[in-house]
Structure 1
Amino acid sequence: MTDDVYQRYSLKHVINASGKMTILGVSKVSNTVLAAQKVGGQNFFEMAALTEKTGQHIAKLLGAEGALVINSASAGLALATAAVIGQGSEYHVYHPNAPRFNKREIVMPKGHNVDYGAPEEVMIELGVGQVVEAGYANMCTPDHVDMMITDQTVAVLYVKSHHTVQKSMLSIEDALTVAHKHGLPLILDAAAEEDLRKYVQLGVDIVVFSGAKAIEGPASGLVFGKQPYIDWIEMQTHGIGRAMKIGKDNILGLTAAIEQYLQDGPEDGEHMKARLAPFLTALNEVPGLTATQAQDGAGREIYRASVKVAADAPLDAKAVTAALKSGNPAIYTREYRANEGIIEFDIRAVDEGEMAQIVARLRQIMEEN
């Protein structure tokens, strides 16, 4: 059946060595999750009750006051923005652009206003908010955030991601302290993070996760944290959130994925390093390549193969990644540092056989050019 789909639509097979990336469908889901989706897809529910009850169940699992399954982390940012502007106003739900709601500023570190596949600021603007950047591209302190807060500010936004500038940045705890000093909520974009309970325990008001990344659920998102913010976000699903609605199958699928994730957890760092070791050895045998182990830039327990393409190699790193993607299977890597001559391989969704295919393809590319 799998091969039939690739053949029917003339699609390439893909080896995903780039990580939990939206452009490749993010993650594989387990049979447990698929079973939950099947129940959802083949039955009817009172959707308001399904949304409420699964949210209550997830909140209890995470130790949060409230939770809501949505269709993506991006939707979570837009809905959270609209929620803190409207603050529970039903009028706002139906008139999000009304001039009576004149407090719309969301303060965030300048180095966090990144493009993760879409710009952070676009999601804020979708929620009819206005981004106010604090600090500089290479530095943001608590004072930088504090000085940008005015009587028009409705929240502080912090992005926990490898996409953001890491050096000389205030911590989540710092951002939380500044926000609460002014009686404002902290919205945390933690889309690809792995610890579902950590940020609630820190006291973050609104936490936004992707359902399909670390959790390995279906296409979905999760917002959780404190009341009344989660209630306000739920209200927004009847306004701008109507364009972002999630189906019953994926609500149940994500709920099952969260249960499974909390029970089993992600692959631990030591196991990942053990799987990585023979891959590194094989990569180092390819002419023109030097491979080393590298930890995730945001400090997560994720270890990757960092491959340096020699300056005198027949192709540079950008050309190598292009050649990898051009084949069938198409091999996708992390290309963020290709301009420095470095290619990273994320092995979380790569098995031993696929690692061998990657090494063979690299050898072919380097020896044929």
Structure 2
Amino acid sequence: MNVYEELGLKRVINASGKMTALGASVIDAGVADYMVRASMDYVNIEALMEKAGEVISKYTGAQDACVTAGAAAGIAIAVAACIAKDDIDAIERLPVSKGLRNEIIIQKGHSIDFGAPVVQMIRLGGGVPVEVGHTNKAAPLHIERAVNEKTAALIYVKSHHTVQKGMVSVEKMVNIAKKYDLPLIVDAAAEGDLKKYLAAGADLVIYSGGKAIEGPTSGFIAGRRNLIGYCRLQYRGIGRAMKVGKENIAGLLKAVELYGSRDNREEALRQKEEMEWLKVEVDKIDGLEAEVVQDEAGREIYRVHIRVDSGFLGVDAKHIIDELERGDPAVYTRNHYANMGIIGIDPRPLKEGEERVILNRLRSIVEDIKRRNT
């Protein structure tokens, strides 16, 4: 019995992904032990933050890094840093930024809700979001025409939630940022490549510590030394409400270390094999048809998409999703395409043998439906 079952909550099988709503990631035992040890002593937090920046930079290739409470906090702090810089008066009055260069240009197709609106995180940092282009189409000209004397930064959001075609690429965003001498912020919260966007020329790149890296609730901003210095200064202002504890900083550092030494390609191929097995087995269930698909944002993540034949079963995908969640253990699936009759299974959060539990639950649910239909 796990801690949450002891509290009277149902056990959860997470087939949805590294979702905040389900607790993001399960941390490694080595990370947990490191956090416990870190929690039992005192440390100068400012010195720890600086040392953390040093350590993270070894794995990102950045000049420096700033630990945050998560990727959402990272957006707010990065925006605040671009607006207030090292002006303590400005730092202490954010998010009120009247009279400062405070406009943050974002493509309309990147203005997403990831559980909260990206533009709200921008506003928390004192930014005024300027959405450019159209939901399904943006061009460099849209961005350049929005640049003016009040522009503080550009932001690029890399996420499966964003529109995946018709947007200005990160490479072109880098060129525009350099042309107008503006910082480019990249929100790469769930991305697994810790070097790609910095190597492409981004100035500040934000990662979640609890997603691909499989650390505790945390995040970090990696980038140019002067801008990272400004980021740390925001802890004298809005960052105070987003502070991260010593044990989470330590856990993040251990998780980054383990992540940097792991063969992620081999793990992705193993997960793909699991999903190929699951696809074959699901196809044997009347009324369900499965396929293995790669992640929408191009990451090396392979999921099973299960299409529900509502004409044959007499129920839609939402019915089966509800039945999976009502059970014990509760099975949470990836439901971005549920309105199209598709249930997604993400292998990354699954513990050993849980794919078989999901398969058996699907068989049981479909059998119950068939019995009711006869």
Deviation at 1:270, TM superposition (A): 2.2
Deviations 1:102-154 (A, max 9, x none): 32110010000000111101101111211101100001111111111111110
Q: Aligned pair in 2 of structure 1 residues 4, 292: CA closer, same or farther (>3 Å)?
A: closer
Q: Aligned pair in 2 of structure 1 residues 207, 39: CA closer, same or farther (>3 Å)?
A: same
User: RMSD across aligned C-alpha pairs, in angstroms?
Assistant: 1.3
Q: Aligned pair in 2 of structure 1 residues 56, 90: CA closer, same or farther (>3 Å)?
A: same
The aligned runs of 1:97-176 (5 Å cut-off) are: 97=95, 101-176=99-174
Amino acid of the structure 1 residue aligned with 2:232: E
Q: Which secondary structure state, in structure 2, belongs to the residue aligned with residue 133 of structure 1?
A: strand
- Report how many residues are paired: 367
Cα distance in 1 for residues equivalent to 2:182 and 2:18 = 32
The aligned runs of 1:267-282 (5 Å cut-off) are: 268=266, 269-282=268-281
- Aligned residue number for residue 283 of structure 1: 282
Cα distance in 2 for residues equivalent to 1:358 and 1:61 = 36
Unaligned runs of 5+ in 2: 370-374
The aligned runs of 1:21-60 (5 Å cut-off) are: 21-60=19-58
Deviation at 1:237, TM superposition (A): 1.1
Cα distance in 2 for residues equivalent to 1:352 and 1:123 = 36
Amino acid of the structure 2 residue aligned with 1:315: V
The aligned runs of 1:49-88 (5 Å cut-off) are: 49-88=47-86
Amino acid of the structure 2 residue aligned with 1:82: A
Cα distance in 2 for residues equivalent to 1:165 and 1:18 = 20
Do 2:153 and 2:185's aligned partners in 1 also have CA atoms closer than 8 Å? yes
Amino acid of the structure 1 residue aligned with 2:329: P
Cα distance in 1 for residues equivalent to 2:250 and 2:5 = 31
Do 1:86 and 1:101's aligned partners in 2 also have CA atoms closer than 8 Å? no
Q: Aligned pair in 2 of structure 1 residues 227, 6: CA closer, same or farther (>3 Å)?
A: closer
Matched, 1:334 2:346: no
Do 1:192 and 1:209's aligned partners in 2 also have CA atoms closer than 8 Å? yes
Cα distance in 1 for residues equivalent to 2:52 and 2:348 = 28
- Aligned residue number for residue 225 of structure 1: 223
Deviation at 1:258, TM superposition (A): 0.5
Q: TM-score, normalised by structure 2?
A: 0.95
Cα distance in 2 for residues equivalent to 1:355 and 1:98 = 49
Cα distance in 2 for residues equivalent to 1:293 and 1:211 = 27
Q: Aligned pair in 2 of structure 1 residues 292, 98: CA closer, same or farther (>3 Å)?
A: closer
Matched, 1:298 2:297: yes
Do 2:95 and 2:127's aligned partners in 1 also have CA atoms closer than 8 Å? no
Deviations 1:200-259 (A, max 9, x none): 111110000000000000000010111211111100011111010000001010001111
Do 2:216 and 2:252's aligned partners in 1 also have CA atoms closer than 8 Å? yes
Do 1:85 and 1:101's aligned partners in 2 also have CA atoms closer than 8 Å? no
Q: Aligned pair in 2 of structure 1 residues 296, 329: CA closer, same or farther (>3 Å)?
A: same
Deviations 1:298-350 (A, max 9, x none): 00000000111013123201111111111111111110100001111001121
Do 2:104 and 2:153's aligned partners in 1 also have CA atoms closer than 8 Å? yes
Cα distance in 2 for residues equivalent to 1:345 and 1:215 = 20
Match of 1:186 among 179, 184, 187: 184
- Aligned residue number for residue 325 of structure 1: 325
Q: What fraction of aligned residue pairs are identical, expressed as a percent?
A: 43
Matched, 1:364 2:346: no
Amino acid of the structure 2 residue aligned with 1:367: E
Do 1:209 and 1:223's aligned partners in 2 also have CA atoms closer than 8 Å? yes
Deviation at 1:193, TM superposition (A): 0.2
Cα distance in 2 for residues equivalent to 1:82 and 1:106 = 11
Q: Which secondary structure state, in structure 2, belongs to the residue aligned with residue 165 of structure 1?
A: coil
